[in-house]
Amino acid sequence: MDIGGPNDAIFVMGADAIGKAIGGSEPSSTSPVSWSADSAIVSSSGDLGVTFGYIRSNAPAGTAPAQPPVPFFTI
């Protein structure tokens, strides 16, 4: 869910609707980056978890200098 922009502060729900609201048109079929969790840790009570991994550039090889992966974590 997205809350919309400064000119249209409404709730926008769903991937396609959010893509249109942010990009102004149909969402792109490709993304400039990709990421996924490489690992996850969850508390024994199950009420807290952390995932972490790397954000990687999807630029085709040879089009730009290679960008190093950027670490991320989500709580």
7-55 confidence digits (pLDDT tens) = 666 677 777 776 676 666 555 667 778 888 999 999 999 999 999 999 8
Measure CA 24 to chain center. 18
State residue 26 phi and psi, 5-degree precision: -60, 140
Q: Look at the pTM and tell me if it is higher than 0.85.
A: no
Cα–Cα dist 42/45, whole Å: 8
Bigger pLDDT: 2 vs 73: 73
